[in-house]
Structure 1
Amino acid sequence: MWATDHHHDRYGIMLPVGAGVAVACLVWIVTVLVGAGYIAGMTWMPWVLPMALGVATAVVLPLVLGRRRGKHDVAALTDILRRS
């Protein structure tokens, strides 16, 4: 995925992975604390839901953050160039 993402220089290579893992861990903790793993018919939830949300976070975060960071970098560079 890193080689196909042409904007990875804006947010780094580990941010999407780290955010996906953090979201997956938090969702797993919440589903286990709620007790979804012990309810009949819902034992899949603490395993599948964190994986799905972690992957979704790792895909969506670069799309949102890359655009914002790119606009911010261009604005900051323009401001620096105008001052000189």
Structure 2
Amino acid sequence: MLSLILVTLAAVAAGFAVWAVDRHRDLYGALLLPGIAVCAALLTWLVLRAAGAASFEADWVGWAVPVAVSILAPIVAAVPIGRSRARADTAETERILRL
């Protein structure tokens, strides 16, 4: 259970770190990327526990892999979300200014 708590805290920290360095962070909420990081890490943790990959011999797999996933997931999600939101906001601003 301690590994679940540590994975969750690391995922929240990773999500906020990715949010902090994203240049499009003003286009979406502050909890979107940490939420993506936590969901990805917890799903990975559950799958590894259910598969038995986090046994006594390789206990580090049960927390190292979800932490790595929690770092990669918001990075992968931030790129298309930021671009699409920027495009949508620009289109909406142009539509409003044409009125």
TM-score by length of 2: 0.69
Calculate the aligned-residue CA RMSD, in Å. Answer: 1.8
Q: CA deviation at 1:39?
A: 7.0
The amino acid of 2:53's aligned partner reads: A
Whole-angstrom CA distance in 1 between matches of 2:33 and 2:85: 14
Stretches of 4+ aligned residues off by more than 4 angstroms = none
Q: Which structure 2 segments of 5+ residues have no match? A: 1-16
1:30 is matched with 47
- Three-state SS of the structure 2 residue aligned to 1:38 is coil
The amino acid of 2:62's aligned partner reads: P
Kindly indicate whether residue 97 of structure 2 is the aligned counterpart of residue 63 of structure 1: no
The amino acid of 1:47's aligned partner reads: W
How many residues are aligned here?
81
Which digits, 9 at most, give the CA deviation of each residue in 1:33-55, with x for residues without a partner? Answer: 11111274x43222111000001
2:59 is matched with 43
Paired-residue identity, %: 33
Q: Which structure 1 segments of 5+ residues have no match? A: none
TM-score by length of 1: 0.80
